[in-house]
Structure 1
Amino acid sequence: MSLKPRKVDFVATWEAIKETIKGVISLKHVPRSVWNDRFSDVYALCVAHPEPMADRLYQETKRYLIDHVTLLLQKVQNDGEENLIKNYHHYWSHYSVGSQYLHSLYLYLNQQHIRTHKMSDAEIIYGSSDSSGGEQMEIGELALEIWQSRMILPIGQKLVDLLLEAIDADRAQKTLPVSIEAIRGTILSFVEVQGYKKKAPLQLYQELFEELFLTASGEHFKQDASRLLQERDVSLYMEKVKLKLEEEMFRARRFLHSSSLPKVAHTCEAHMVEEHLEFIYSECMNMVQAERKKDLSNMYDLLKSVQDAIQVPVETVLEHIKTQGLNAIGNLQGENIHINFVENLLNVHSRYKLLIQEVFKSDQNFMGALDKACSYVINHRPNGGKSPCRSPELLAKYCDTLLKKSSKGVSEFEVEEKLSQSIIIFKYIDDKDVFQKFYSRMLAKRLIHQQTQSMDAEETMINRLKQACGYEFTSKLHRMFTDMSVSADLNNKFQVYLKEDNIDLGINFSIYVLQAGAWPLGQAVVTPFAVPQQLEKSVQMFEAFYHNRFNGRKLTWLHHLCQAELRLGYLKKSYVVTVQTFQMAILLLFENTNTLTCKEIRDTLQLNVEHFQRHAISLVESKLLVADTEELTEATVLCLNMDYSNKRTKFRITAAVQKESPQEVEQTLNSVEEDRKMYLQAAIVRIMKARKVLKHNALIQEVYAQSKTSFAPSVQLIKKCIESLIDKQYIERTAHSSEEYSYVA
């Protein structure tokens, strides 16, 4: 074939092209040689000399397609309404494929003649219409446009009516008047016929079919809902509606364009769920209280897509978890109250977390309700908010129980697991500073009295707390660990010091040197105590060694926290007993005598009544000493029990000291209150220094935001701290407003 422009006989060439078009558009066999010749003919007409004949070819092709579709319309209608869908689908199936082949045959005309004159995609999308008046369409598009105007426009409404009847028959499970393929193909033809459009390609489908379909479906859903409501059973209603929704979505996928799926779901939900929310909510409380998982799951599936409908079940679940949580910790008594408290709360949390995962697919609304409920229960203040919240103290005691050596029958893995779980409770606690106070006190006792189960477990727990609250929260706890390792090194150096000077203390002596700022021992009153003669040399030598190394540091001996091992050699069997310092001092007085009065012991040791009573009674109760009266008075005679026996040759007498007294608990809470005031005052000064001038409400909000990681301060407490700082002249009220403060530089 020659590419050179030449004279062409249009009539003869068009006749040849027209014969080929007949075969192509009807999907009849067209030999490859004929196809190639017609392809060349289209090219020849487009580049004909002296004048190209592209426009004339276009007009003739358009006229032919109009005539062809008009003829097809008669054929579609010939067999009556009952065969309208079937015939339409048959001819559309051929015509739509044939138009694509025709588009390929006219490739040169499309690319070189029509596209060069077409508007750009941007002009089409953002312009006022798809095409300007008189603009030519590519041949494939032209074929589809003619089908729409000459076939769909005349019979479209009738087609849609028949399609809706067919879908209703499918809903009623009746035999369809026509095949599923014909119904789906006819519906999708409304989309495909405008598939070439850049702007609003679904317009015909939506206006001609979808709107009518959704309206008809809405009426159907209303009737179905009315019928189901007559049974007055919410569980059954939800099951049937859920089934109905699944059926409709399956039907929509089978018949409709994918863009209609969410609209079908929304229509069904609007008429079968949204319009009957009160009916569904009527059983919500009972379902939640009885924890009917299947019903709740159905309710969730139906309500999740309806705007704000999920809030009622969320609130109901929130109140239910609150009730269950308060019931779980409401009547706890006895020595194991802290264990029951924490483990009961963890059970409630894990139970409802699992329920939310199973039933509500871990929906964030319900997870938020779980968090709110747990926070409410854990920070609950009994007696109408008058009593303090005990959660921080009880959680600290729970951790203490697990980390102590006394936790019998619990494996190391179980301890790790329980400590890890305890962080769940910790994260909900508002007053984290109270927990920190109790935890640090208990950690101090475990470290000082060598009662910790595992130093690794202790460090792991502190790291967990640091991850939850930051380094500042655990800095003092880390320093306590540092002091223990530094003290071990100091003891080694002290032993070297004694060897170098050939000093024999006569006893094994080791100490802990603790930083006053890191250890929660500052509130402890240093009790009067005359150090036993056996210890005097050791104390003096260590003081000399320490002051020689650290000039200017002050040592304060906390005898009430010390302990000793004594060997009892006066009995039939030898025993090693671990005792507190004051117990040791009392026993040492019996080295040269078997009997002493309480007054003699007190005068010798210079102990106050409280300490003497507590430690003397513990020795009498352990049966190492025998008293001649039930109550210890100054005249009571104590004597060694020469008949003492014990199955164990090594034992400890520390119970009297280890228990946390109510006074210590109150003291801890008081120290927290003082710390809070100092923290808030520092925060206020810090904020005011940065802002210079700030209004009252803004200052309170900023202070609260900075404090909430450790505790939730009351507005009243923040106001008191502001007044205190005004008195101290750190800040002042501005001249023009009593509700505004300025920083005093």
Structure 2
Amino acid sequence: LRNMYKLLKPTHIGITYMVEQLREHMSRTGHERIQSLPGDNLSTTFVETLLEIHTKYTDIIRQTFANDSEFISALDKACATIINMKNENRLPSKAPELLAHYCDSLLRKSSKTTTESELEEKLLKTIIIFNYLDDKDYFQRFYQKMLARRLINQQSSSMDAEEFLLTKLKEKCGYEFTGKLTRMFQDTKVSEDLNIKFLDYLKSETKSRVQNQTITALLGLDFYIYVLQANSWPVSQPAEKTFLIPQLLERPMRMFESFYNKQYNGRKLCWMYNLSNADIRMSHLDRPYFVTMNTYQMTILLMFNDHQKLTLNELEEATKLNIKELEKHLSSLIDNKILLSNTTDLTLNSIISINYEFKNKRTKFKISTVTQKETTQDAEISQNAIDDDRKFYLQAIVVRIMKSRKTLKHNLLIDEVITQSKQRFTPSISLIKKCIEILIDKQYLERHSADEYRYIT
């Protein structure tokens, strides 16, 4: 191949043929490798296979074709084709989601990557795959959700590594792409300061003069709060509007609200029970267990401090949880053998009791909630949300261009919009036309002639 390249280099037709053949070979080989991947741990095998393919052909091009720019371009096109492959026409490529999961697996505390330098090296390699994504905004959406879980549950293996990847994404796509991610980090740092100030506030309220007084001593329980900006985090308000928090939490929450209102007058707090966790010490067994669970599971379990047995109906009355939500969280406690039910299928008359024979090899563990798989309807809702975001993003770009140019031909406007939006995704011409029509209806633009637009001031 090296000798053939040297012979054909002076002839444009020969090199073009070689480039095209190599591109087709790389695309075909890549598709075959990706389609044959096993289902287990798909995100890791997907990314590592892509990196292996990229490294292999990068070395071939360097050693055989002297890093010829035409062959490098062929590698870029082949990698973009492989990575953005779609199984069905209507569904987006799975690559953004798989890449986000891979990053999450590296950055979570359970990651097997040992040193900081190894972690940063692997994260740097993920940027190679990220560069080829057509739908970078899809990656951002998945990555933001996973980052939120890591930050809220304090599962990040390294904040330096988190910020390292954020910096690399910012270098590739700009501040607008990473703006919300940056504000999420800022919120966690602001929350640290807030918790320190809250402790000082408690000391002043209780007139405590004890040095190094802890929040546990002042409130009777450990209490840590995250205050999140609603427009920066991918979280929704809890559906359970009627939920009754345990009495144990009422005083700490009211005191924090009082403190926060004095700090930031006019701001409104909405408690996100669905995202909160609790560490419970179970001392009624032959040895103590420390269990991490969500707020709803904790509320159910605390009911048994005062009762030996309760029916499902009584639990519903006491917690004011929706029956389906109650069953979901109760089932996880029963599945983990912490609680017992006298019936296999839960009904309103099912009797729930504490399992005094509970045993576990680990004294510290976490209870997961029974999660339901994403339905086709949920996938469509997510898809519609991203489509709406894209429309607003494209409209902003069109307005920005037209405000600068005042008048512009149709084709030139389309080309400019595609160029400016490529950092996030590659829009279809039909979507751009639809956004232009929306802006004309909103009287931001008007048709100056058959193929020209004018910005309305």
1:37 maps to which residue?
A: none
Distance of 2:413 and 2:24 partners within structure 1? 34
1:696, distance to aligned residue in structure 2 (A): 1.9
1:448, distance to aligned residue in structure 2 (A): 0.2
1:405, distance to aligned residue in structure 2 (A): 1.3
Distance of 1:595 and 1:438 partners within structure 2? 42
Distance of 2:379 and 2:195 partners within structure 1? 33
Which of 436, 439, 449 in structure 1 is aligned with 2:153? 449
Which of 262, 272, 284 in structure 2 is aligned with 1:548? 262
SS at match of 1:310: helix
1:24 maps to which residue?
A: none
SS at match of 1:626: strand
With normalisation by structure 2, the TM-score equals 0.93
SS at match of 1:501: helix
1:583 lines up with 2:290 in the alignment? no
2:189 maps to which residue?
A: 485
Give the 4+ runs in structure 1 shifted more than 6 A. Answer: none
In 2, are the aligned partners of 1:583 and 1:619 still within 8 Å (CA)?
yes
Alignment deviations for residues 166-219 of structure 1 (CA, whole Å, 9 cap, x no partner): xxxxxxxxxxxxxxxxxxxxxxxxxxxxxxxxxxxxxxxxxxxxxxxxxxxxxx
1:603 maps to which residue?
A: 317
1:668, distance to aligned residue in structure 2 (A): 4.0
1:636, distance to aligned residue in structure 2 (A): 2.1
1:330 lines up with 2:35 in the alignment? yes
Distance of 1:656 and 1:359 partners within structure 2? 54
Q: Name the aligned partner's letter for residue 132 of structure 2.
A: Y
1:386 lines up with 2:90 in the alignment? yes
Q: Note the 1:630-645 alignment, pairs <5 A.
A: 630-645=344-359
Which of 264, 281, 285 in structure 2 is aligned with 1:571? 285
SS at match of 1:639: strand
SS at match of 2:54: helix
Gaps of 5+ in 1: 1-295
Structure with larger RCO (C-alpha < 8 A, sep 6+):
2
1:744 lines up with 2:449 in the alignment? no
With normalisation by structure 1, the TM-score equals 0.58
1:417, distance to aligned residue in structure 2 (A): 2.4
Superposed CA RMSD: 1.9
SS at match of 1:566: strand
Q: Name the aligned partner's letter for residue 550 of structure 1.
A: Y
Distance of 2:117 and 2:380 partners within structure 1? 34
In 2, are the aligned partners of 1:526 and 1:558 still within 8 Å (CA)?
no
1:652 lines up with 2:366 in the alignment? yes
2:75 maps to which residue?
A: 370
In 2, are the aligned partners of 1:565 and 1:577 still within 8 Å (CA)?
yes
Distance of 2:149 and 2:378 partners within structure 1? 13
Distance of 1:372 and 1:510 partners within structure 2? 49
Bigger mean CA deviation after superposition, 441-450 or 716-725: 716-725
Q: Note the 1:220-619 alignment, pairs <5 A.
A: 296-383=1-88, 385-408=89-112, 412-502=116-206, 504-521=218-235, 523-528=236-241, 529-619=243-333
1:356, distance to aligned residue in structure 2 (A): 1.2
Aligned pair count reads 445
In 1, are the aligned partners of 2:440 and 2:446 still within 8 Å (CA)?
yes
Distance of 2:425 and 2:19 partners within structure 1? 27
Distance of 1:409 and 1:679 partners within structure 2? 37
SS at match of 1:671: helix
1:526, distance to aligned residue in structure 2 (A): 4.2
1:742, distance to aligned residue in structure 2 (A): 1.9
Q: Name the aligned partner's letter for residue 190 of structure 2.
A: V
Q: Name the aligned partner's letter for residue 266 of structure 2.
A: G
Gaps of 5+ in 2: 208-217
Distance of 1:536 and 1:670 partners within structure 2? 39
1:335, distance to aligned residue in structure 2 (A): 4.4
1:494, distance to aligned residue in structure 2 (A): 0.4
- Are residues 525 and 575 of structure 1, via their aligned partners in 2, closer, same or farther at CA, if it must alter by over 3 Å? closer
- Are residues 321 and 648 of structure 1, via their aligned partners in 2, closer, same or farther at CA, if it must alter by over 3 Å? same
Distance of 1:661 and 1:573 partners within structure 2? 39
Q: Choose between structure 1 and 2: higher helix proportion.
A: 1
- Are residues 609 and 414 of structure 1, via their aligned partners in 2, closer, same or farther at CA, if it must alter by over 3 Å? farther
Alignment deviations for residues 85-110 of structure 1 (CA, whole Å, 9 cap, x no partner): xxxxxxxxxxxxxxxxxxxxxxxxxx
Distance of 1:356 and 1:636 partners within structure 2? 68
Distance of 1:636 and 1:614 partners within structure 2? 14
- Are residues 338 and 666 of structure 1, via their aligned partners in 2, closer, same or farther at CA, if it must alter by over 3 Å? farther
Q: Name the aligned partner's letter for residue 363 of structure 1.
A: D
Distance of 1:614 and 1:409 partners within structure 2? 34
SS at match of 2:453: strand
Task: Give % identity.
Answer: 49
Q: Name the aligned partner's letter for residue 158 of structure 2.
A: S
1:660, distance to aligned residue in structure 2 (A): 7.7
1:711 maps to which residue?
A: 425
Q: Name the aligned partner's letter for residue 490 of structure 1.
A: L
Q: Name the aligned partner's letter for residue 370 of structure 1.
A: L
Q: Name the aligned partner's letter for residue 240 of structure 2.
A: T
Q: Name the aligned partner's letter for residue 563 of structure 1.
A: N
1:667, distance to aligned residue in structure 2 (A): 4.5
SS at match of 1:742: strand
In 2, are the aligned partners of 1:680 and 1:707 still within 8 Å (CA)?
yes
Q: Which has the larger radius of gyration?
A: 1
2:407 maps to which residue?
A: 693
Distance of 2:219 and 2:48 partners within structure 1? 49
Q: Note the 1:175-194 alignment, pairs <5 A.
A: none
In 1, are the aligned partners of 2:328 and 2:369 still within 8 Å (CA)?
no
1:720, distance to aligned residue in structure 2 (A): 1.2
Distance of 1:449 and 1:511 partners within structure 2? 12
